[in-house]
Structure 1
Amino acid sequence: MRIAFPLSAFLSVAVACTALPLHAQEPAPHAGQLQTAAVPAVMEKVVDGFIRPGYRHFHSSATALQTSMTSLCAAPSESHVIAAKAAFTEAVKAWGRIEIVRVGPVIEDNRFEHILFYPDRKGLALKQIQGAIASNDESFTKADSLRQKSVAIQGLGALEYVLFGTGADSLPKDKSNFRCLYGAAIAGNVDRMAADLSTLWEQPGGIQDAWKKPGPDNDTFRDAPEAVTGLLGILVHGTETVRDERIETFYKPASSKLAPKQAIFWRSGLTFVSLSANVEGVRDLLTKADVASLLPSDKRSIVSDVSKLADQFINTASSITPDVQLAVTRDEDQAKLQSLLKDSRSMITDLSDKIGGGVGLSAGFSFADGD
């Protein structure tokens, strides 16, 4: 199965890459040239230096989360609630870093949605989660049966509600344990998804080889330019998601939109932690894969420019009031939110136009909007 990107991006790729390799396309003014010889080493670093370690780390954090939830259910207490919340925070961070890889096994069998169902603009997931907690139906307390139900009630968003939503104050003293057992089942389901993803990427001869060895018989990448296009697509779409689907979902000053309760992980105060983890993922993939080596020597500085923007984004995000409902009303935090939008837009432009152009993508090509 070929790597799936949004249709607009696919059409752009088709126009840019039809028949000829990127460096053989008619060059645009100031266009660069793909350093084809560097592609195998870069793709190996993408897999071995970023994707596989990322899923391993997510799996270990998910296992720790399941363990902490099981301990909480076995012996409800304030200390066990604190430990479960800390484990949840680590899992959110680990997922945030690898979440940008929205291609390959994670988009098969709805694995992504099993881990994180977001956004939920109509509040359908919330109603289902509240209904599950109120039901006392034992099928919600077992990971195997929970996995067969709606994806909206079995991922990190659902577990956030269990730990931080209305009624969570019952967890340290709830002897009936239904809410906790439901949360433990969610954690078990997330752990299972994380294990599956790590196993699939670790398997020799599987998806990792498809990424490392572009070629005419490869159903994922037929040649080096396609592999680089796929890599840049991850970087651009990952950053675009931060801007469009994560920030502008709750803060869009151009349309006077302030909707803090639509922000991801707003109940746990992890909105900006999650955003930072996403951008850390973009930065780390860019640098660990040595994307600069794909560019002509006179264009390589753009990679460090993007990394600096990412660092600036992360530093700004970490300084914003964790309470999103408060942050969107404070002048100081609103200025920082504007900065996040500005920095993420600049990152997208640099990634799609400057790095994309630097490896020889045709004039006007954009991963961001399919122009």
Structure 2
Amino acid sequence: MIVGFAVFAFAVQALGADLPTEDEIRSAEAPPASVAPSEPFSHAAMVKAAITSYIIPHIDALKAAVAPLPEAVANVCKTGTPAAEKDLEERFQKVVTAYVGVDFLRFGPMLENGRREQISFWPDPRGFVARQLRLLLLNKDEAIAQPGAIGKQSAAVQGLPALEALMHDKAVPLGPGDAAHYRCVVAGAIAANVVRLISEVADGWEKPDGWADKLLHPGPANDTYKNESEAAVEVVKALIVGLSLTADLQVKPQFDTKIRLTPPYEKSGLQNVFYTESVASLHELYDILDLESWLPPDRLWMKDWVMGTWRALEASDGAGGRSANAKRDDAPAPREVFDRTNGLRNMVANRLAVAAKLTIGFNELDGD
């Protein structure tokens, strides 16, 4: 399936590369650490914090953001007014922004049945979204409006990128009239399908005996996590995968001309939003996991490098410009952002996770 290429071909790399040296970390621009080490999270507490403070709130926020999307599509198709178009754009942006916070949770309900790719088929270096959408529109089969029908089509036409393409087709824009009729039928089916998929993800996490319960109650009877350490590895691994995806799929194409990859949600002008929300979400999860609390006193200086790295990532818009929320005066170049993101990924995998007595193996990063 294209899924394996799209998700992990760029993300999974040897964890030893780009690891900052002690001299590099000690020379970071952050002030010296002077705070005594805190009591470290237990593995069980780490998992509970990740679920209750990050995963469930972000999934609930995505579910709430996507609920009005079908109605917004219907309003544009019924009226075609600038106000309706603006409302759809705003609601679409809210959905994408909320989705970024769960995009890197590529296990459990997101992984099951290929839901992640169905919701957001990106990266798409071979143009499957445009190709499959064109074929779907040529068929003009009105049965696509039936519940579940779009879900039987290619993952490339089931989710947000396909809806975005329909929203920004200037040749035949969504609206009333015969020319746009079938496009509106497809757009409405896609919007409803995304609501369904995200509801399934939320249910998969929150139902009794769902994925949250799996992580919170490891043991011999658990078919996925046999102990608290395995559950903790899963959530830390999600953070590492998220850093890999940000570096390899969003930042590296900005300076490596050999990589031909369209930025995420570029038609909607959301590529910078996608980057800044990715960094903000990863930073939030990093803080919640509190891996630094496991550092021994002679390793507290690692906090300085990490602090400086987050500050650099948050100063960038992901494409060489300066973020509006930057806490430093300059805009780091994409190459610096890439190197720092890789360094942070490897810091988490090879130093902080090790300090926390967690083993993050190469094969564990390959979520297929």
CA contact (8 A) 2:163 2:191 kept: yes
2:149 equivalent in structure 1? 145
Distance 1:350 1:286 in 2: 12
Distance 1:308 1:69 in 2: 43
2:214 equivalent in structure 1? 210
2:233 equivalent in structure 1? 229
Distance 1:264 1:314 in 2: 18
CA contact (8 A) 2:73 2:188 kept: yes
2:86 equivalent in structure 1? 82
CA positional deviation for 1:97: 0.9
Compared with structure 1, are the counterparts of its residues 300 and 224 closer, same or farther at alpha carbon in structure 2 (3 Å cutoff)?
Answer: farther
Distance 2:318 2:342 in 1: 19
313-322 or 233-242, which deviates more = 313-322
Secondary structure of 1:147's match? helix
For 1:286, give the aligned amino acid: Y
2:278 equivalent in structure 1? 278
1:188 lines up with 2:192 in the alignment: yes
Counterpart among 318, 321, 337 of residue 334 in structure 2: 337
Counterpart among 344, 347, 351 of residue 344 in structure 2: 347
1:31 equivalent in structure 2? none
Secondary structure of 1:109's match? helix
Structure 1 residues 71-119: Cα deviation after superposition (integer angstroms, max 9, x where no partner): 2223221111111111111111111111111011111111111101122
Secondary structure of 2:199's match? helix
1:4-83 equivalence runs, <5 A = 38-83=42-87
Compared with structure 1, are the counterparts of its residues 369 and 178 closer, same or farther at alpha carbon in structure 2 (3 Å cutoff)?
Answer: closer
Q: TM-score, normalised by structure 2?
A: 0.78
1:357 lines up with 2:333 in the alignment: no
CA contact (8 A) 1:115 1:154 kept: yes
1:246 equivalent in structure 2? 250
Distance 1:146 1:77 in 2: 27
Unaligned runs of 5+ in 1: 13-34, 323-331
CA contact (8 A) 1:142 1:182 kept: no
- The percentage of aligned residue pairs carrying the same residue is 21
Unaligned runs of 5+ in 2: 16-38, 323-329
Compared with structure 1, are the counterparts of its residues 342 and 171 closer, same or farther at alpha carbon in structure 2 (3 Å cutoff)?
Answer: same
Distance 2:365 2:152 in 1: 35
2:258 equivalent in structure 1? 257
Secondary structure of 1:144's match? coil
CA contact (8 A) 2:241 2:365 kept: no
Compared with structure 1, are the counterparts of its residues 149 and 300 closer, same or farther at alpha carbon in structure 2 (3 Å cutoff)?
Answer: farther
Counterpart among 95, 102, 106 of residue 99 in structure 2: 95
Distance 1:302 1:123 in 2: 42
CA positional deviation for 1:161: 0.5
For 1:279, give the aligned amino acid: V
CA contact (8 A) 2:220 2:226 kept: yes
Q: TM-score, normalised by structure 1?
A: 0.77
